[in-house]
Amino acid sequence: MEPIVEIRRLLDVMPAAARMLTKIVSKPEQPRVIDVSFPLPWNQERPIYINFDLWFRLSKSQRDLLLLQKVSWLTGVKWFKPDIYQGVVLLGLLGGVVESAQSDVVGVAIGLGLSAIACFRIWRHNQSPELELTADAAAIRIAGRRGYSEAEAAEYLLSAIEATAKIEGRSGLNFSELIRCQNLRAIAGLSPVGVPESYIKLE
């Protein structure tokens, strides 16, 4: 199958809102099957890089679920969702501006320091296993609107994660992938044991 044909098909699989925000890019030189960069607040477009030579080693259903998971993760990263940390960033920046107008170096340092700490906390939350689990759940929900049952979608995503590691020549799954696989096994009905509640805080 030609990459252009597959890209068109994948765009149909994606939710309409995600088509406006993300872009599928062919990247044959990358060692990963599918890859995304952490979206920074000033990035208007969020690219999804696919090595189509490796991509086509997965089944169609595996490809669907893998793409939906990446799309859900990309659209799930929120820099400007109102909460305590965004409030601290704004207050810190505002305080820094006020203190700089009064030539208070210590005040400026404190204000900017608070903003930096809050920004780091936001970034860390967006890198957490919780966000990956949330993206998995969102991908399964979207797949339900594409004709997959919940158990089927979870099983296809599970097998896609495991197959991707083999295709990429990795010796095993990383910590986040192990947690996700255990959760997906529980959703698919393949295991009675899920992941601890502390990891699952779906919005």
Predicted confidence band at 44 (pLDDT cuts at 50, 70, 90)? confident
Give the C-alpha separation, 144 to 68, whole Å: 11
* pLDDT score, position 169: 96
Helix spans in the chain (H): 3-13, 16-21, 52-55, 60-76, 84-101, 105-126, 129-144, 150-167, 175-188
For 73-81, what is the mean pLDDT?
Answer: 74
Whether residue 203 is predicted with pLDDT greater than 50 in this model: the reply is: no
Tell me the whole-structure pTM to 2 decimals.
0.77
DSSP class per residue in 84-113:
HHHHHHHHHHHHHHHHHHTT-HHHHHHHHH
Whether residue 75 is predicted with pLDDT greater than 80 in this model: the reply is: yes
Crossing angle, helix 150-167 and helix 60-76, to 10 degrees? 90
- 31 vs 104, which has greater pLDDT? 31
Place of tokens 């990446």: 70
* pLDDT score, position 92: 58
pLDDT in tens, 142-192: 999 999 999 999 999 999 999 999 999 999 999 889 999 999 999 999 988
Quickly count: other Cβ atoms within 10 Å of residue 202's Cβ.
Answer: 9
Give the C-alpha separation, 69 to 41, whole Å: 20
* pLDDT score, position 101: 64
Predicted confidence band at 88 (pLDDT cuts at 50, 70, 90)? low
Whether residue 84 is predicted with pLDDT greater than 60 in this model: the reply is: no
* pLDDT score, position 41: 72
